Chain A
Amino acid sequence: MNQNVTLRIVSLFLIIAPLLVIGIRLQKNEGTFDINPEHKYIVNYRFGVGGNADYKIRTFLPTNNQRQEVSFANSSLNGNISLEGNNKLIRWYGRFDEADTIDYAFEHKGRDISYSIDPKLPFKAELDPEYFDYLMATEYIQADDEKIKSLANELAGKSAGLRDVIQSYFDFVHAIPSVATSELTDAVTALENFEASCNGKSRLFVALCRSAQIPARVTGGLILEDTRKKTSHLWAEVLVGDKWVPFDALNGHFASLPGHYLELYKGDEFLITHNSGIEFDYIYDIKKERVNDYPFLAALNLWEIIDEASIPVDMFQMLLLLPLGAFLVAIFKNVIGLKTYGVFLPVLISLALLETGLVSGLVLFSSIVLVVALVNFPLEKWGIQYTSKIAMMLIAVVITALFAVKLLHETNWLSASAPLFFPIIILTIISERFAKKAEEEGVKSAIGLYTSTLVVTLFIYFILSSSLIQNFVLTFPEIILSVAGLNLMLGKWIGLRLTEYHRFHKVINA
């Protein structure tokens, strides 16, 4: 009895203590527990102003939208902030006696976004007058230029769907050779030179859309990375239905945009303008910070180790997911009553499946098991000693795996980097046990056990492939102790297994 009380206390402590720590860490750290974004960026505009004259500087500030969340950090000098149309601007006026700097910093958390455009959406649709502005030809976006008009017609061809038309413009512009220039390139010039940077490509893409009566606009901002830079970026947005959908024809983002794109303004604007007669310089100082590491009270900050020692995330992930997987196997066995070949096999196979892909991995592993199980029969018949038999079957597994990989690779089913080493040994053991089971209790029950092994494997695969769970265990590795506590309790659970209700239902007369 006493022993049971101790055990209960130990297991409850193991379960609850890590949860408390995790709770405190969630409270005390400024993090968002969200896998997307893993990072935030601190962006600092730094403007150097000199010349001992009145200065007038104008730039854009980011706003929150579906894919970005921004918050003010600090600034060295208050500016006038105003909303104009779609954009938020800041202006500084004044005069410095000596050359000085203006700093303005904010934080950015972005997430990837991607849209799927219904291919059935018609190319020509009735348009709300509020969007007429986005069909206009402008100085740099010459939608009414004959060359652009005829190109737009030619590219669209007979396509009736909006998506196909946009795709044809996008592909054309994407294929134009890129040059790194910060000079302003208008749509016609980009087409005539047949080379352009981001701004030329975006204007050409928008011009093509507009000349086909599809509302479009350019959008400007920064591609965030852990560096100091002067280069800004321009991409485009096209109105699809009532949504502005992003396109970056330079970097090949079709109807999608990565999380580290900072959007600053909409429309064909200059990011920074200043009056003449002053000395002016600028730099964007960007720092990348992890937001999911919760450093406070972290006994083991794995993200820090991953960032600093450049250890692959996968390795920690596998290590941490193993105990969770083993616990799930224990639940399947002791609570549900599904038996498997070995405790670790389903866990290891499901981890391997994370890398190989579900279907190709299952085909590969199952074919290995079945082929190699056949090798067991002559070995058993000839009375080969156990250790030698296992070694023989390992050789058979390796040979089968090599041919299977060759075959799968030729059919592009399997990525070449799929890690096959660690499941190999396990596959040998399962093959041998499969064969033994088939011999002792018939092929049917061997396949039955294999099937229930696969069921458990698949279930574990779906749990472990959740990026939320993967990220959680990496951020809060202490959760492993809770798993240990649950395991202890499960190890003392004496209830009937679910399958036993079926197995023993004839003991009681219904």
Chain B
Amino acid sequence: MRLLKHMQKIRSSVMGMNQRNLGLIYPNNAKKNYKYADDKYLAKSIMEENGIACPRTYAVVGKIGEIEAAWNAVKEWNKLVIKPAKGAGGNGIMILKKVNDQWMKGGKVIDEFHIFSHIANIIFGIFSFGDSDVALIEEYVQPHPFFHKIYPEGVPDFRIILLKGIPLMGMLRMPTDKSNGKANLHQGGLGIGVAMDTGRLKQAYDGRKHFDLHPDSKHQILNKRIPHWEELVALSVQTAKHFPLDYLGVDLVIDEHKGPMIMEVNVRPGLGIQLANKQGLKEVIENVKLD
């Protein structure tokens, strides 16, 4: 009986995959507009046109023959990110830092030949299921010190889910020792719930358990106040307004100097955010409608 009651509670509060697809994604997002989210190049064009803060694009490479010229134009920068426009799940992203005039990737020296072949692979479509793709070369985001006080590695980002321009739920994704600098939940990262009204962190979730402290660094997470929270929310609302997608997940980062920026937009934001928040999305949507 207790199990049935628990199941009933889950049913009335949690948003499942079927209802997300049929009730949120299909009616709110026209298929033909998915590309504005799935293609990071298109997404950035919209953001840039509308003055939405996002990492600066140094170069866009769409042809093998353009690689060298593009590289020559960007290699003066000391930190770069190379990513496929249509990549998914963080695949094909290469972070480069210049140390003593040599390019380093994850602590190892990398020569130009390997950088070029990575760009060529992106264009060939290795990270986008065989579709030819475009490589973006972007500004590297230096995470706000707030994050490194909790955990010193990687680039944490926020995910805010919005329905018809109303922010519903938020989550901070943070790397762990296991996740190798990546913040994705299924790669071992932490999902940390966010109290939308106060901008304070809730507990963290690693796919199995909830924590009040970061499981590796043991720094406090619960109740920490997020810097620039109101700006983050405002930026996500502004983004939602300019995309022809009514149900979307907006991914944001906070740069040490430039403040909140949009990284990307997602038409199929995952449901794990409910676990990070210990709160069902179905319940949240019902409460929003009541208001």
Contacts and interface: CB of A to CB of B under 8 A. Distances in A.
A253 interface: no
A501 to B, nearest CB: 6
A496 B9 CA distance: 12
A380 to B, nearest CB: 8
B95 interface: no
Contacts of B277: 507
Contact of B9 (A334, A337, A493, A508): A508
Nearest to B127: A386
A508 B6 contact: yes
Contacts of A501: 7, 10-11
Interface string A378-412: 00000101110000000000000000000000000
Nearest to B11: A496
A496 B16 contact: yes
Given A383-B117, A440-B91, A494-B22, A505 B17 contact: no
A476 to B, nearest CB: 30
A276 interface: no
Contacts of A500: 10, 14, 16-17
B19 interface: yes
The residue among A383, A496, A501 with the most chain B CB atoms within 10 A of its own CB is A496
A489 to B, nearest CB: 12
B179 to A, nearest CB: 12
Contacts of B9: 508
The residue among B9, B16, B277 with the most chain A CB atoms within 10 A of its own CB is B16
A386 B120 CA distance: 13
A509 interface: yes
B48 to A, nearest CB: 30
Nearest to B89: A440
Contact of B210 (A387, A494, A496, A506): A506
Interface in A285-301: none
Contacts of A440: 89, 91, 187
Given A501-B7, A505-B10, A507-B13, A496 B18 contact: yes
B23 interface: yes
A368 B59 CA distance: 43
B124 interface: yes
Contact of B14 (A383, A441, A494, A504): A504
B186 interface: yes
Nearest to B186: A441
Contacts of B279: 507
A497 interface: yes
Given A501-B10, A505-B6, A508-B13, A493 B18 contact: yes
A302 B187 CA distance: 52
B6 A510 contact: yes
A243 interface: no
Interface string B205-244: 1000010000000000000000000000000000000000
A504 B91 contact: no
A120 B22 CA distance: 63
Contacts of A386: 124-126, 129-130
Interface in B7-55: 7, 9-11, 13-14, 16-19, 22-23
Contacts of A496: 10-11, 14, 16, 18-19
A158 interface: no
B193 to A, nearest CB: 10
A494 B16 CA distance: 8
B275 interface: yes
A7 to B, nearest CB: 12
B229 to A, nearest CB: 23
B233 to A, nearest CB: 22
B18 A497 contact: yes
Contacts, number: 82
A448 to B, nearest CB: 12
A505 B16 CA distance: 12
B275 A506 contact: yes
Contacts of B16: 494-497, 500, 504
Interface residues of A, number: 24
B280 interface: yes
A305 B249 CA distance: 55
Contacts of B6: 505, 508, 510
Nearest to A509: B278
A454 B121 CA distance: 33
Contacts of B11: 495-496, 501
Given A494-B18, A497-B17, A507-B274, A385 B10 contact: no
A387 B7 CA distance: 46
B10 A494 contact: no
B129 A494 contact: no
Interface string B242-277: 000000000000000000000000000001001101
A43 to B, nearest CB: 58
Interface in A475-510: 492-497, 500-501, 503-510
Nearest to A333: B17
Nearest to A510: B6
Interface string A395-437: 0000000000000000000000000000000000000000000
B189 to A, nearest CB: 12
Interface in A343-387: 383, 385-387
A427 to B, nearest CB: 19
B227 to A, nearest CB: 27
B18 A504 contact: no
B278 A507 contact: yes
A510 B278 CA distance: 11
Nearest to B22: A494
B124 A385 contact: yes
B195 to A, nearest CB: 16
A510 B2 CA distance: 9
A494 B89 CA distance: 26
Interface in B117-160: 117-118, 121, 124-126, 129-130
A441 B22 contact: no
A504 B274 contact: yes
Given A386-B129, A387-B130, A501-B7, A507 B91 contact: no
28 contacts: A334-B17, A383-B126, A385-B124, A385-B126, A386-B125, A386-B130, A440-B89, A493-B18, A494-B16, A494-B18, A494-B22, A495-B11, A496-B10, A496-B16, A497-B16, A497-B18, A500-B10, A501-B7, A504-B14, A504-B16, A504-B271, A506-B275, A507-B13, A507-B14, A508-B9, A508-B10, A508-B280, A510-B6
Given A495-B16, A507-B274, 17 more contacts: A385-B121, A385-B125, A387-B130, A494-B16, A494-B18, A495-B18, A496-B10, A497-B16, A500-B17, A501-B7, A504-B16, A504-B275, A505-B10, A507-B279, A508-B6, A508-B9, A508-B14
Sorted from nearest, which 9 A-B pairs have the closest CB atoms?
A494-B19, A496-B16, A386-B130, A504-B14, A500-B16, A508-B9, A494-B18, A385-B124, A507-B274
Interface of B: 6-7, 9-11, 13-14, 16-19, 22-23, 89, 91, 117-118, 121, 124-126, 129-130, 186-187, 205, 210, 271, 274-275, 277-280
